[in-house]
Structure formats: C-alpha cells, structure tokens
Amino acid sequence: MKKITLLLSMFIFTSAALKAQVQFGIQAGPAFSSMTSKASGVKVTYNKTGFTAGVLAELPLGESGLHFRPALNFVQKGGDFEGASINLNYLEVPLDFTYKLDAGSGKLFLGAGPSFAVGMSGKWKYDGESADVTFGSGEEDMKRMDIGANMLAGYQLSNGLFLSLNYNLGLSNISNGSDSKDHNNYFGIRIGYLFGGK
C-alpha cells in the first residue's frame, strides 16, 4: 500500500508543480506484453495481449520543443506459454521527457524515461487450475516493484488528439526464486487526448 501511495504522490506532485502551463490528458489501448523467464540456464518467453489506460500531464520545458510527460497508467502484463499463463495487473508511473517537432498539421514526438510500477493483483493458470499471484518476499511470491526503461513515439493533431507507441523494457527481476529471473516487457499502442492548456 505504501508503494501505491508513493506512485500516486509522485504523479500528483509532479503534475501540481507544473502549474499553469500544464496540459492534462487521457489515453488507452492494447498492451502486448512478454515475460522472459530464465531458470537453470533455460530461457523462455511468454507473450500475451492485455490492456492499458491512464492519465497524463505534459509541461513544455522552455521554447526548445522539450517536454516533461509523467503519466499514471493501469497496465496488464504477463504471458502465455504451452497451456500455462500468468496475468499481472500493475499501476505504473512513467516519467518521460519528450521532444516535439512540427510535422504537417500536427506534431511528431519522441521520448524516453524511467518507469516505476507496483503490482496490484495477478493470477496463474495451468492445466485448468488457477491461483492468485502473491506479492512479497517469499520464495513463491513475486516482487511487487517493477522498474523499467520507457521509450515512446507518436503524433499529435492540433486539436489535442494523439496516437502514441511505447516500448517498456523491464529492468527488475520480479522473481524471488534463488535460481530464476523473470522480467516484464511490453509494447503499448495508445490513443489519447490532451485537454487545453496554455
């Protein structure tokens, strides 16, 4: 609960600090996730399609086209592999810096930054059986915190409507197993809208 409060505080604090020039927006779309698991020298990748939705803020940093773009997203991660699946629900805060340039009637933007995600819930399924994923420090638990590197690109129309693509590379090993390493990655496609600001 403390980590969730910290994520919410990070988003609210950075958004509030932006003040008058800030624009706020909403976004949603599919998330194509993969979980890479390595144990005893064997590496396996699980893939699945999920959903992501959230809110964002955007602040221009001077007149150079550089912007600070924090967001608060719900993201489904995990994967499916040979009759087994794991579905993980995260609350994620990416802290991206983007650069915008004029392109036609709108603007092209490119960006990158760190992301911090907290596991909210999850479910394992195998051979017709299912069980809840537990987050904690036990051998069978998954680590709740998931830190990643986020990269994004997109196009925004003059009316505030935008399409963005992002790839999130999981940097954290979310497994507590002594001989296993699990990493979350996902590719997201979002349609969103930035409301008016300055």
**35-51 pLDDT, tens digit each:** 988 887 788 888 999 99
What pLDDT digit, counting tens, does each position of 69-89 carry?
Answer: 999 999 999 988 777 888 999
Other Cβ atoms less than 10 A from the Cβ of 194: the count is 20
11: its two tokens: 């988003």
Please answer whether residues 78 and 33 qualify as being in contact, where contact means their C-beta atoms are separated by less than 8 angstroms: yes
9 SS3 class: helix
* CATH number (domain holding residue 21): 2.40.160.20
Contact 178, 146 (CB under 8 A): no
* Average pLDDT value over all residues in the chain: 88
* Structural domain total, the chain: 1
pTM of the model: 0.84
Q: Which structural domain, as residue segments, surrounds residue 162?
A: 2-194
- 194 forms beta bridges with 25
User: Is pLDDT at 4 greater than 80 in this prediction?
Assistant: no
Q: How far apart are CA 131 and CA 141, in angstroms?
A: 12
Q: Bridge partners of 190? A: 164
The residue behind tokens 């915190």 is 145
pLDDT of residue 56: 97
Q: Which residue has the tokens 């629900």?
A: 89
